[in-house]
Structure 1
């Protein structure tokens, strides 16, 4: 995962809190990102 993709994922994660339907599409990617961000 490149720095751009990682940063982009974090940005999407913030939007995910506002957009419920949009969350469905990135659920898989966000889960991996959350683990890396939290840890």
Structure 2
């Protein structure tokens, strides 16, 4: 199991990746380009 710090880092990276929303990136599950989960 990853530690809390690792999970927080993954969430931070994932959110940043979704918010950057660069063309050519895989869209998130909603397809709206905005993050749905925290």
Q: TM above 0.5, one fold?
A: no
Structure with a larger share of its residues in helix: 1
TM tier, shorter chain? 0.3 to 0.5
RCO (CA 8 Å, sep 6+): is it higher in 1 or 2?
A: 1
Greater C-alpha radius of gyration: 2
